[in-house]
Structure formats: structure tokens, C-alpha cells
Structure 1
Amino acid sequence: MNRRNNCLSFALMLAAGVTLCAPLQAQDNGRGKTTSILAVSWQPAFCETKPNKPECKTQTADRYDANHFALHGLWPMRKNYCGVDQADIDADKKGRWTDLSEVKLSATTREALDKLMPGTQSALERHEWIKHGTCTNLSQEDYFAEAISLLDTLNASKVNALFAAQVGKAVTQDQVQSAFDESFGAGAGRRVKMRCEQDGDRRIVTELTIGLGDGDPKTPLANRIQAAGGTKFDCDQGIVDPVGLQ
């Protein structure tokens, strides 16, 4: 039976004083196209596995990344090292990130990046730029400004509020996906993957990767997530690690 046959005539609806024919609502199927990935770390868990990193040696319980997501990167899908010299590719793959050219940013963007990406203490931004940023057709300033804006939105959402409230306790797939749906619209949680690592007898959440669809740097995060395709959530439950080795 088609939609027209489901509706009462206009005259009958007026007589009844009600509208019985509601508009059809599109149902999310997660079948958008993922064109890039926003990767964010839970830094205390990262430092649990990499305690000798400079950013981990300096981490404190009152630093921003103790209870907010940290920027790992913004990755175009299936494109790496665009127009990069082989010598730089080799240095990057060997982890010699301080040998790479410095990323040139405005003072405002540099300050924000150092706060949101503690890995700048290990020159992570140089690695992220040559491997991923070079494939975005953006300048260094615009690339990192976009990543900062997306992460700021995530950290102001119910997703970060959930993780901050659960420090030292577990979060589940249902909780995380629900927080994404509440913050960024129905189905947003289906565009997220949660990664965990085993740490002794604990399984700790180390990272979220969030699928993004097409959009310019001013497109809201919710719209970018809704335009992406679905993905497998992966880790169904993990502990939100506090600062300090456990």
C-alpha cells in the first residue's frame, strides 16, 4: 500500500482535527562514504603502553589530556605521502620524526595543537603532516586548524563527558554509541571504532577512530559523521585509564 493510500483525505483530516499522515522519516543505514578518519587517543592509556615517550613522562593528572581526548590525526582514506621525497618517507617510517621539516603554524594554532596533541613533544605533527596532511590539498595551517576544530567539538560533547565520568571504570559499546548518537545524531555511533589493548589483566581503551564524509573545514562534525559509512565497533568494553602507570 502506498503512502497516498495510507493518508486520509484532506477534508476528513480537517473534520477530525488531526493529521494522521505523518511525513516519512529516512532511516539511517550507515551507507554513506567515508572519505577521512578522525583518530583520537585516550592519552593515559597510550602512555600506559608507551611510558618513555616525552609526552608521557610529562603527563600529569591536571593536564588537559588527562580527561579529554588527544589528537592522533586526521587521515584521508587510502592516501599517504602525497608528493613527499623518498628520503622523508624513509625517515618517517623509521620513526625519525625530528629529522622531518618543521610544521609552520600560526602562534594560535601552534598553542592549540600543543594542548590537544601532546605528541608534538615527539614531533608527531611532522609525521602526521607528511603521511596524511600532504594528501588533503590543504595548507599546514588549514589542515591542523581543521583537526583542532573537529576535536574541540568532540571534547565538548557527551562522548567526552562519558569518558571523563568513567575514568578508572569501564565504558561499553552501547554507552559510547549512545553518546555519539545523542551528540551527533541518530546512527553516529555506527561510524565509530573503539580500540583497546590488554594491559595485564585489564583491557584499556586506547583510541577512537571516527568516520567522516565529505565536507570543507567549516562543515560541522555532526554533518561529517552523518555523511560517512558505517564500520565495525571492534572493542565492546574497556577501562578508561587514569593518569599514571597501573
Structure 2
Amino acid sequence: MTMAYRVASHARLALGALVLAAGMAACAPTSVSPPPMQVAGSVINPPAHGDFGHYTLALTWQPGFCASGPGCQPDQPKAPLIGLHGLWASRPQPLIAEGVPPQRWWAAGCDIYPGQEPAAPLAVSSETKQALDQSVAHLTHSLADHEYHKHVQCFGIPAETFFHTALDMRTVVAQSDFGTALQGWQGQMVARDAVMKAFHVAFHTETDRALQLRCEHDHAGRDVLTQLWFTLKRERVADFPRASAFFRAPEAQDNCPAQFLVPAW
């Protein structure tokens, strides 16, 4: 599945402080909803093809992501445990009107439009490159390059602005009570219902399919958590992580069984 113009300056996105639960195992919610992020306007309202409905914030559970499929490179960092995969826009409205199915959009991404720039190294600062190297899985080919060229460039969002936003959203999840609970479960078999309850409590939302869990078989044949897909309203993404930002995913893509492993390194 699947998402350059330069802006005059890129201010570091200010994140509201999140209060972590004292008891990780209890997964206790904070009594006050977390404050919204300050999200760059060019991400909320991209210069091109901005008439889409929602974003998918795709995060990886790195030990599981790297233990499935072809795996990660030997230089894969062991921290953080929750990594960044992407921030994907849904189909722009003209594609929906043309009858383009979501599966084609997921497969093609920006290549569905003619005249896209060939893949090239990302135009980002050394600070952002370092953050991406730490937070994005190390695959044979650069996942960050792939994400930008397939899922972002056709929307006209500068790479620096886009990855600042996506990295800060990853940090919000990793530092939330939900992220703390996942870290406490590493190495354990967990119930899917327990994970979903932890999400709903931490983010004060009852929206169905706002989070979809992705599992794969690891190299030992076990069902392991690999990804976390959060669906967010495009016009309310600045509210994230408040409940008003979450949206019911139109397509059911959660494939985790009732019990699965949250693997550790």
C-alpha cells in the first residue's frame, strides 16, 4: 500500500508533552487528553492532489518487521522499538471518480501520475537523515527514499517538512501509554483484544478500525506483530493524537490472529 517544492524555512514541529503511565503493565490512561501536535500546513493541505480523505500513519514494530520477509540489514539499530514506515495519503478524489480501485493506488502510488521525478537521494538536513537512519528499518534499498518517491512527491510536500511531521508522529505514539504498553509486552504472547484496548484507552477513542494491526510469520513460523496502521482524517490530522483525529479505515486490513507474539530483539 501506499503516498518537490522548497519552502522558505522548516520550523521544528512542537509536540505537546505526553504523560507516561507509571505502571506499564497496568496500561493506565492519563486523566487528561494529550494536546494536539502542531502539524505543518503543507502536510495537512498539500499543494497538489490534496482532495483525499485520510492518512495512514504506518509504524513498524522493528523486531517483528525485521524478523519477517527478507529481514533487515546487519546495521539495523536495536532502538527505537517502534519505527517509522510511512504516512500515506488515500486516493485523491479524481482517481475515485475515475474508478481507480484502492488496490491500484496502493500498488502504484505517485507513479499513477505521469512525469514523476526519478528516484534520487532525499533532500533533507543531516539532522533529519540521522533521525531517519535511527527510526526507519534498514532494508536492501532505502525505505525512506521509497516512501517519499512513491507516496509523497506527487503531493508537492518537501521531504524535510514531510519527514519532520512523520517522525514526530512516530515519537508521539512511542512515548504514549500505548507505546509503553507495547514495550512492556516485548517477548510475550498477547491477545489482540488487549492491544486494542490499550490503544483505545491511551488515545481516548472508541473508533473502530482507527488502528489496524499487521502480523506476519517470522523465520521460525510464529505469528509476530510487524506493523501498526493508524487511520487519520486529513482535515483533522493536526488534532493528533486527540480522538478527533482518528478515522475508521474504509478497508479492513488488520490481519493479526487472536493471539500473537510481540517479539523482542
TM-score between both structures, scaled by the size of structure 2? 0.64
CA shift in 2, pair 1:59/1:224, >3 Å: farther
2:127 to 98, 108, 114: 108
Instruction: For structure 1, list consecutive stretches of 5 or more residues without a partner in the other structure.
Output: 1-32, 89-99
Q: Secondary structure at the match of 2:212?
A: strand
Which sits farther off after the overlay, 41-50 or 117-126?
Answer: 117-126
Q: How does 1:87-106 map to 2 (within 5 A)?
A: 88=118, 100-106=119-125
Q: How does 1:200-219 map to 2 (within 5 A)?
A: 200-215=220-235, 218-219=238-239
CA distance in 1, matches of 2:237, 2:205: 22
Q: How does 1:1-246 map to 2 (within 5 A)?
A: 35-50=54-69, 53-54=72-73, 57-59=74-76, 63-65=78-80, 68-78=81-91, 80-81=109-110, 85=115, 88=118, 100-119=119-138, 122-188=141-207, 190-199=209-218, 200-215=220-235, 218-223=238-243, 225-229=245-249, 232=252, 233-235=254-256, 236-243=258-265
Q: CA deviation at 1:172?
A: 2.0
Q: What residue in structure 2 maps to residue 91 of structure 1?
A: none
Q: Secondary structure at the match of 2:144?
A: helix
Q: Secondary structure at the match of 1:119?
A: coil
Q: CA deviation at 1:156?
A: 0.6
CA distance in 2, matches of 1:133, 1:87: 11
Q: CA deviation at 1:216?
A: 7.1
CA shift in 2, pair 1:112/1:59, >3 Å: closer
CA distance in 2, matches of 1:161, 1:231: 28
Q: Which amino acid aligns with 1:108?
A: E
CA distance in 1, matches of 2:137, 2:245: 25
The share of aligned pairs that are identical, in percent, is: 26
Root mean square deviation of aligned Cα: 2.8
Give yes or no for contact 1:53–1:122 (8 Å, CA) kept in 2: no
Answer with 1 or 2: which has the greater Rg.
1
CA distance in 2, matches of 1:188, 1:148: 24
CA shift in 2, pair 1:125/1:168, >3 Å: same
Q: Secondary structure at the match of 2:234?
A: coil
Q: Secondary structure at the match of 1:112?
A: helix
Q: CA deviation at 1:159?
A: 1.8
CA distance in 2, matches of 1:121, 1:201: 22
The one-character-per-residue Cα deviations of 1:90-136 (angstroms, maximum 9, x if unpaired) are: xxxxxxxxxx3000112222222222113377411111011101243
CA distance in 2, matches of 1:43, 1:190: 22
Higher helix fraction (1 or 2): 1
Q: CA deviation at 1:228?
A: 4.7
The one-character-per-residue Cα deviations of 1:124-149 (angstroms, maximum 9, x if unpaired) are: 11110111012433211111111011
Instruction: For structure 2, list consecutive stretches of 5 or more residues without a partner in the other structure.
Output: 1-51, 92-104
Q: CA deviation at 1:213?
A: 0.7
